[in-house]
């Protein structure tokens, strides 16, 4: 009986020791799991806030409520799992999402501060939009601590509704630094106004091109070009000192090589449909506005070459006789 009691006692002690070992092992395993780190970073829509320049803000037709989260999780092997989540996606389109290594702009082909080829090891792929929240993951061979502490790169979400570009920042829905959150920026739209005096032949520095006709020579014009969120423009023409009841044809004519036009004009005689309309005279200041369908705001200001013309409503319209032009100037200049 004594032997049996001792055996029971030793058995209980052994069970307690083994139990402590089991619990210690579980605690150790739990502790090891808890030691694995993770970080979530959030990216707001690209309003140019990363570079502090509205010229780098997105300009396109995508809804501006898209945002992104990047979850970086440490794996048991020390590497990382990168999961990108996009919110407010468009259903049925594929979003190219990339990490681009930072680079010296002096060494890149197009002066970008990053390598234009995405880093596939960190993240480069397409995320299928579903009308809401969509995500994709990539297991890297890059150590987690390196991604968090030393990696220098950019996180980019390209616009799936237009051709992909690795240089035009206005096509990026999201533009941030990899592993660093990007706060929301205020949407900003640009505008610029251009003033035009009466046609006295000053544009071509030739008095023979000055206006000849019955209209008062005090008419002037202003052209306001306003950026829209899709990157296109709203154009508002204001004519001052108009004749009441008269309709003023107002046009932009694309510049052209005179050797290629039917009548040797330095412009296409057919007006550009994006910038053509009629101002109804009222005896004072009168306006008309139009939204461009092709010409973009920055294109108008920086690239487009054309002539801004206000025709005389008091005589037959001509696209070749410059002396019938009340206003003759360069478009958006």
Q: Are residues 244 and 196 in the same domain?
A: yes
Is the pLDDT at 253 greater than 90? The verdict is yes
The answer to whether residue 10 is domain-embedded is: no
**Do residues 169 and 206 share a domain?**
no
Q: Are residues 136 and 46 in the same domain?
A: yes
pLDDT tens-digit series, residues 102-130: 999 999 999 999 999 999 999 999 999 99
Question: In angstroms, rounded to a whole number, what is the distance separating the alpha carbons of residues 264 and 331?
Answer: 20
pLDDT at 34: 55
pLDDT surpassing 90 at residue 298 = no
Final residue in a domain of this structure, among 151, 177, 203: 177
Asked if residue 279 is part of any domain, the answer here is yes
- Which range marks the domain in which residue 110 is found? 36-177
Residue 77 placed within a domain: yes
Q: How many domains does the chain have?
A: 2
Do 156 and 204 reside in the same domain of the chain?
no
Shared domain check, 79 and 123:
yes
102 and 214 inside one domain:
no
State the chain's maximal CA–CA distance in angstroms: 135
Instruction: Answer whether residue 233 is part of any domain.
Output: yes
Per-residue model confidence (pLDDT) at position 25? 40
In a domain, 21, yes or no: no
170 and 49: one domain? yes
Looking at residue 229, its pLDDT comes to: 86
pLDDT of 26 reads 40
Question: Which one of 109, 143, 177 terminates a domain?
Answer: 177
Residue ending a domain, among 130, 153, 177, is: 177
pLDDT of residue 52: 93
Q: 134 and 248, same structural domain?
A: no
Domain-embedded: residue 28? no
**89 within some domain:** yes
Could you tell me the pLDDT band of residue 41, with boundaries at 50, 70 and 90?
A: very high
* pLDDT tens digits, one per residue of 131-164: 999 999 999 999 999 999 999 999 999 999 999 9
The CATH number of whichever domain residue 196 belongs to comes to: 2.60.40
Query: Same structural domain for residues 294 and 266?
Result: yes
Please tell me whether residues 217 and 308 are part of one structural domain. yes
Strand 134-143's sheet: what is its strand order? 38-43, 67-74, 79-87, 134-143
- Shared domain for 257 and 159, answered yes or no, is no
Say if 285 falls within a structural domain. Answer: yes
Please state the rounded mean pLDDT for residues 262-283: 92
Question: First and final CA of the chain: distance in angstroms?
Answer: 112
pLDDT (0 to 100) of residue 70: 97
Percent of the chain past pLDDT 70, that is, above it, reads 90
Global pTM value: 0.69
Q: Do 167 and 203 sit in the same domain of this protein?
A: no
């Amino acid at each position: 009986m004594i032997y049996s009691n001792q055996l029971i006692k030793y058995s209980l002690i052994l069970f307690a020791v083994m139990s402590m070992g089991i619990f210690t092992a579980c605690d150790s395993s739990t502790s090891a799991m808890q030691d694995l780190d993770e970080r979530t970073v959030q990216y707001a829509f690209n309003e140019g806030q990363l570079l502090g320049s509205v010229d780098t803000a997105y300009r396109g037709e995508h809804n501006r409520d898209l945002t992104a989260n990047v979850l970086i999780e440490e794996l048991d092997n020390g590497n990382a799992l990168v999961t990108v989540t996009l919110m407010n996606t468009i259903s049925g389109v594929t979003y190219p999402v990339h990490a681009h290594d930072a680079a010296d702009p002096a060494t890149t082909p197009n002066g970008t501060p990053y390598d234009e080829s995405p880093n596939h090891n960190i993240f480069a792929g397409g995320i299928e939009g579903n009308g809401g929240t969509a995500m994709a993951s990539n297991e890297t061979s890059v150590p987690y601590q390196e991604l968090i502490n030393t990696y220098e790169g950019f996180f980019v979400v390209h616009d799936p509704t237009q051709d992909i570009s690795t240089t035009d920042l206005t096509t990026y829905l999201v533009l941030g630094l990899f592993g660093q959150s990007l706060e929301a920026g205020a949407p900003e739209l640009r505008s610029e106004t251009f003033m035009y005096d009466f046609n006295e032949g000053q544009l071509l520095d030739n008095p023979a091109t000055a206006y000849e006709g019955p209209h008062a020579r005090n008419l002037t014009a202003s052209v306001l070009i306003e950026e829209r969120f899709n990157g296109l423009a709203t154009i508002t023409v204001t004519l001052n000192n108009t004749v009441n009841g008269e309709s003023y044809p107002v046009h932009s004519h694309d510049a052209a090589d005179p050797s290629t036009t039917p009548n040797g004009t330095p412009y296409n005689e057919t007006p550009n449909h994006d910038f053509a309309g009629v101002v109804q005279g009222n005896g004072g200041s009168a306006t008309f506005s139009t939204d461009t369908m092709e010409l973009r705001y920055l294109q108008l200001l920086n690239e487009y070459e054309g002539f801004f013309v206000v025709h005389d409503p008091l005589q037959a319209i001509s696209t070749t006789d410059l002396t019938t032009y009340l206003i003759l100037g360069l478009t958006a200049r």
